[in-house]
Amino acid sequence: MRFQTLAVHAGHKPDPAYGAVMTPIYQTSTFAFRGVNQPGPFDYSRSGNPTRKALEDCLAALEGGTHGFAFATGMAAEATVLAMLNSGDHVLVHDDLYGGTYRLLTKVVANHGVSADFVNMRDLDALRRSIRPNTRLLWTETPTNPLMNLLDLSAIAQVAKDAGVLTLCDNTFLSPYFQRPLDLGIDIVVHSTTKYINGHSDVVGGAVVVKNSKLAELVGFHQNAMGTCAGPQDCFLVLRGIKTLAVRMDAHHRNALGLAQWLQQHPQISAVLHPGLESHPQYALARKQMSGCGGTFSFRVRGGREQAFRLLGAVKLFTLAESLGGVESLIEHPATMTHISMPAEVRQAIGITDDLIRISVGIEHLDDLIADLQQALA
Ligand SMILES: *Cc1c(COP(=O)(O)O)cnc(C)c1O
């Protein structure tokens, strides 16, 4: 079945108890045994819950995987995967990625004997040279936040296969509707379902999807052992959000590309970083590995920090806030908001300068979004 159909149907049928069309919220900690030594399909909600199972099976279907896992947050999903490594193991991480992942690796996981090196994975030779005998995992994220750089996932998967190393992709920015890393040879997909997958800015959640039963067993074991799973109420909300993922992503893509094209010709904008524009240095790779660009991108305002702050203060429809992927449009200043924990020299070196603005374009009418930026830039 096609993506749109799977988004509505995968993982759930009308409920066997009363025929409820939407999977009920099984708000229970435990499940009655059918008899002595006869558990039902579920015994305790940390180990498994029917609402969570419906979401997990739907996530697996959408990513083209065999097993999905739902977590309390995106960070809980990431922490659980990293807990599968042992002391002495090494991880190679793309050097331009979500700040929370950087913090988890350098401030938490590093204290448990798992080391990480950050390399620019757009340079495949540098990547090959950085692999050590104890390297277990290559960690990627594409497009990157907020600079919208892309990584060639199939090329990286091939480098990893040659070296006998696992690969992971944080697919939060595009969702499986626009990019399917497992199809490109990646072993593990992680998501912050807080963003596009849920899409309504009313829940935090995370996911892991794999397509190999050995890996699935490991993830499932750690999810249960660590207790990082999502609760049934949150799973219900994410499952409801997923049903409209395809139509929302199409709307996000159209609006964001329309705004990017409009900004590109505005005299006060010096650069637009959007992989759907031919001016993007990796436009060809975007066409090859993504079927759309989602709703988040960045641009640079002439006049530096002063003009950037003026714009942020003058918007009326865009909300000044962190996060992304919801139906409403958000605007933010990476240098002083989402990326403030990054050392100033590092920010400067990679291009997160004071003139940079990131927007998460919602599904409002494009003309209203353009009008808001137009009045704010005037
Ligand atoms: C938000 C985000 C995360 C973290 O997810 P939470 O749900 O906030 O824990 C991880 N990766 C990316 C790319 C994100 O945008």
CATH 3.40.640.10 domain residues, the chain: 3-242
Distance in Å, CA 205 to ligand 1 centroid = 9
Is residue 142 pLDDT above 80, yes or no? Answer: yes
* Model pLDDT for residues 209-256, shown as the tens digit of each residue: 999 999 999 999 999 999 999 999 999 999 999 999 999 999 999 999
Q: Which residue numbers are catalytic?
A: 46, 98, 170, 195
- Which of 94, 195, 203 to probe ligand 1 with, by most ligand atoms within 8 A of CB? 195
CATH number of 246-377: 3.90.1150.10
* Model pLDDT for residues 258-295, shown as the tens digit of each residue: 999 999 999 999 999 999 999 999 999 999 999 999 99
With contact defined as beta carbons under 8 Å apart, do 47 and 226 qualify? no
- Which of 102, 192, 229, 332 to probe ligand 1 with, by most ligand atoms within 8 A of CB? 192
Residue 266 in tokens: 């505005």
What CA–CA distance (Å, rounded) separates 183 from 64? 7
Instruction: Name the closest-CA residue to atom 1, ligand 1.
Output: 192
CATH 3.90.1150.10 domain residues, the chain: 246-377
Give 339's pLDDT tier (boundaries 50, 70, 90).
confident
Give 342's pLDDT tier (boundaries 50, 70, 90).
confident
Q: Which sign, positive or negative, has the C-alpha torsion 182, 184, 185, 190? A: negative
The stretch 152-169 carries a mean pLDDT of: 98
Average model confidence (pLDDT) across the chain: 96
Q: Which atom, in ligand 1's list, is nearest to the CA of 204?
A: 7
- Which of 98, 193, 323 to probe ligand 1 with, by most ligand atoms within 8 A of CB? 98
* Model pLDDT for residues 16-64, shown as the tens digit of each residue: 889 999 999 999 999 999 999 999 999 999 999 999 999 999 999 999 9
Which residue type does 35 have? G
206 lines ligand 1 (CB under 6 A): yes
Is residue 97 pLDDT above 90, yes or no? Answer: no
- What angle, 0 to 180 degrees and rounded to 10, lies between the N-to-C axes of helices 366-377 and 304-314? 130
Q: Which atom, in ligand 1's list, is nearest to the CA of 172?
A: 13
Q: Which atom, in ligand 1's list, is nearest to the CA of 206?
A: 7
Distance in Å, CA 41 to ligand 1 centroid = 31
Phi, psi of 191 (to 5 degrees): -140, 145
With contact defined as beta carbons under 8 Å apart, do 185 and 62 qualify? no
With contact defined as beta carbons under 8 Å apart, do 342 and 352 qualify? yes
Distance in Å, CA 141 to ligand 1 centroid = 11
Instruction: Name the closest-CA residue to atom 4, ligand 1.
Output: 74
Distance in Å, CA 75 to ligand 1 centroid = 6
What CA–CA distance (Å, rounded) separates 73 from 222? 15
Distance in Å, CA 49 to ligand 1 centroid = 24
Give 136's pLDDT tier (boundaries 50, 70, 90).
very high
CATH number of 3-242: 3.40.640.10
Instruction: Name the closest-CA residue to atom 8, ligand 1.
Output: 74
